[in-house]
A and B are shown apart, each in its own frame.
Chain A
Amino acid sequence: AQSVTQLDSHVSVSEGTPVLLRCNYSSSYSPSLFWYVQHPNKGLQLLLKYTSAATLVKGINGFEAEFKKSETSFHLTKPSAHMSDAAEYFCVVSDRRGYQKVTFGTGTKLQVIP
Chain B
Amino acid sequence: DTAVSQTPKYLVTQMGNDKSIKCEQNLGHDTMYWYKQDSKKFLKIMFSYNNKELIINETVPNRFSPKSPDKAHLNLHINSLELGDSAVYFCASSQPALEQETQYFGPGTRLLVL
Interface, chain A (partner B; CB < 8 A): 32, 34, 36, 38, 42-46, 49, 51, 88, 90, 94, 96, 98-102, 104, 106-107, 109
Contacts and interface: CB of A to CB of B under 8 A. Distances in A.
Contacts of B92: 44
A32 B96 CA distance: 12
Interface in B29-51: 31, 40-45, 48, 50
Interface of B: 31, 40-45, 48, 50, 55-56, 90, 92, 94, 96, 99-108
Contact of B56 (A49, A99, A109): A99
A58 B55 CA distance: 32
A101 B103 CA distance: 10
Contacts of A98: 96
Given A90-B43, A106-B42, A107-B41, A100 B101 contact: yes
A88 B37 CA distance: 13
Lowest 4 A-B CB distances belong to which pairs?
A104-B43, A44-B105, A43-B107, A51-B100
B99 A102 contact: no
Given A49-B102, A100-B31, A106-B41, 11 more contacts: A32-B100, A42-B108, A44-B43, A99-B48, A99-B50, A99-B56, A100-B94, A101-B56, A102-B103, A106-B40, A106-B42
A110 B107 CA distance: 20
A96 B98 CA distance: 10
Contacts of A100: 31, 48, 94, 96, 101, 103
